[in-house]
Amino acid sequence: MEPRSGCPINAAVEVLGDRWSLLVLRDVIFGDRRHFRALLNGSIEGIASNILADRLVRLVEAGILTRGTAARGQRARYSLTEAGIQTLPIIYALGNWGLDWLPGSEELRSRQRLMRDEGPAFVEELMDELRTRHLGAPAKPHGGPGPLERLDAAHAAGVQTEP
């Protein structure tokens, strides 16, 4: 797809500028949802199957995701590319803005709050973990639980504190 102009902001918005693309990336990154059915059924926003199929095609065409080959009757697996992993700082910044300016449930805000509290080093560590999971990069050693495990724990703690 050829962007409407040579402006890098325009080009990025043309790929990532609709809510569904960013939410699909959120679910792949934080929910480790890598198959169509998991993305469809795991979407708390209720994405329609035709919209999900369209966004997956667009994200693959843009080089943000890859789609593994699947034999007939098998599920295709989606993986982040390096370009997809590099969307994490964008998603992180959007989440921080949402924490500051928009209401939401504690359960769903807990992961973002942990990321903010941990700072940019956590985002880098998470990107390294995504490279291991999606690109087959060697795991980098770290003491204690990894970033995705810590995010899941923060989410679980947020669920327990919901009224």
Query: pLDDT by residue (tens digit) across 34-65?
Result: 999 999 999 999 999 999 999 999 999 999 99
At 75-95, the pLDDT tens digits run 899 999 999 999 999 999 999
Phi/psi of residue 38, nearest 5 degrees: -65, -40
Confidence (pTM)? 0.91
Residues of the chain with CATH 1.10.10.10: 8-80
The CATH code of the domain at 8-80 is: 1.10.10.10
Predicted confidence band of residue 141 (pLDDT cuts 50, 70, 90): confident
At 102-118, the pLDDT tens digits run 999 888 899 999 999 99
Q: What percent of the chain has pLDDT over 70?
A: 96
- Angle of CA points 105, 49, 76, to nearest 5°: 105
Give me the helix-helix angle, 88-101 and 19-31, nearest 10°.
100
Q: Which helix (H) or strand (E) holds 66?
A: strand 65-67
Q: Which residue has the tokens 């095609």?
A: 57
State the average pLDDT over residues 135-146: 90
State the average pLDDT over residues 11-36: 94
Q: Is the pLDDT score of 29 beyond 60? A: yes
Distance CA 25, CA 37 (A): 15
Q: Higher confidence at residue 160 or residue 31?
A: 31
Q: Which residue has the tokens 């065409």?
A: 61
Distance CA 119, CA 57 (A): 32
> For residue 51, what are the contacts with CB-CB under 8 A and spacing of at least 6?
20
